[in-house]
Amino acid sequence: MSEIIETQIKTEYIKLDSLLKFSGLCDTGGFAKELIQQGEVKVNGEICTMRGKKIRSGDEVEAGRYKVRVK
């Protein structure tokens, strides 16, 4: 079962690697980059390997047992 984290952004979008840091799933940008490149991150249910992917309000990002809902 996933632990759900709700994160609010105040801009039009946030890049995937920045979201992982902002929401507390990764301590560093380097770790976020590694997770993404290894195919460990899903965006809206699909594996995403683009760390610069634009994440907008309404998107869901999964990493391990965590799911981040962006508002």
Contacts of 59 (CB under 8 A, 6+ apart): 43, 44, 70
* Residues found in the chain: 71
Q: Residues 18-58: pLDDT tens digits?
A: 999 999 999 999 999 999 999 999 999 999 999 999 999 99
| Average pLDDT for 11-22 | 96
Contact indicator for 70, 13 with CB cutoff of 8 Å:
no
* pLDDT given at position 1: 72
What is the spatial distance between Cα 54 and Cα 19, in angstroms, rounded to a whole number?
Answer: 10
Work out the pLDDT band at 60, boundaries 50, 70, 90.
very high
pTM, 2 dp: 0.92
* pLDDT given at position 2: 80
* pLDDT given at position 55: 98
